[in-house]
Amino acid sequence: MRALLSISDGLAAVTDAVGRLAAWLFLPMALVILYDVLQRKLLNVYPEFQQTALYQFLPSTKAQELEWHLHGFLFMLCLGFTYIRNGHVRVEFLRENFSQRRRAWIEIFGCLLFVLPYTLLVVDLSASQLVWNSFLMNEGSSATTGLPMRWIIKSSLVIGFGFLAIAALSILLRNIVFLFGPGELRSLANRYVKGDEIDDLKHEVEEELARDAAAHAEIRDRGDHRPNGRQD
């Protein structure tokens, strides 16, 4: 049982790391959008910008295609990460009153009957049809100045659903340990049956507000200590 829990932890750690890495894609995405807007304005007043090396490297078509390339990787690579962090929305209406054991059973059946078949089907079909065909055809953008090699973005489906399957495997093992493992492991394995996300959120916001109050008090204090304070 301890070994199962270690495997579960290992799978979760890998999935989580991939998601944390992908989460940073927000930043290049925002910057590429900003670049696209600015270069369009710039072209209006300074048409020669088209001749610069920067524009040659990243013309508007490429920038816009890059935006949804980044978007695709961002959400696909975070599907498993979100499941590991219990972020996929659940209908809590009845679940609130379920015992932890019943929640664990539901999670096990869900992973076995829904998630694993679904993710493996998408991984298999995406790899064998979508990515492979695109690679064979050497498919690129339909626009002449667009991005080449569509198989790269298409493989985000294979990778993303692959990690969602790994996340499901991790959660499956964890809940098996919770149900059948010895008492001392159960508290380590109950991550997906507790249902106290609201409390977590509340604590976070409370800490935040406390920090704010402290910051405000500090500013006020500083004002008071100044010789002629207040006016500035």
Partner 1 sequence: MPWYEILPIAMLLCMALFIFTGFPVALVLGGLGLAFGIIGIMVGEFRVAHFNALPLRIYAGSVENIILVAIPMFIFMGTMLEKSGIAEDLLYTLQLLTRRLPGGLAISVTLLGTILAATTGIIGASVVLLTLMALPEMLKRGYDARLATGTIASSGTLGILIPPSIMLVLMADQLSVPVGVLFIGALMPGLLLAVLYVAYIMTKAALQPEHAPPMDRGDGPTGINLSAMVIKTFIPPVFLIVLVLGSIFAGWATPTEASGIGAIGATLLALFNRRLSYAVLKDVCYRAAATNAMIFGIFVGATCFSLVFKRLGGDYLIEELINSLGVGPWGVLAMIMIVVFLLGFFLDWIEITLIVLPIFAPVIDSLDFGGHVADPAMMLPWFAVLLAVNLQTSFLTPPFGFALFYMKGAAASVKIQEIYRGIIPFVALQVIGLLLCILFPEIVTWLPARVLE
Closer to partner 1 by Cβ: residue 49 or 132: 132
Q: What is the DSSP letter of 143?
A: S
Instruction: Select from 132, 142, 133, 126 the least CA-distant residue to 65.
Output: 142
Who contacts 76 (Cβ-Cβ below 8 Å, separation ≥6)?
156, 157, 159, 160, 161
Q: Which segment (6-14, 53-61, 180-188, 204-212) binds partner 1 by CB under 8 A?
A: 204-212
87 binds partner 1 (CB under 8 A): yes
Query: Mask: binding to partner 1, 36-75, rule CB under 8 A, as x and -?
Result: xx--------------------------x--xx--xx-xx
169 binds partner 1, rule: CB under 8 A: no
Residues 112 and 151: their CA atoms lie apart, in Å, by 30
Phi and psi for 52 in degrees, rounded to 5? -70, 160
* Binding window for partner 1 (CB under 8 A); candidates: 7-15, 33-41, 45-53, 179-187: 33-41
Q: How far apart are CA 226 and CA 219, in angstroms?
A: 11
Chain positions 93 to 152 lying near partner 1, rule: CB under 8 A, are 93-95, 98, 103, 106-107, 110, 113-115, 117-119, 121-122, 125-126, 129-130
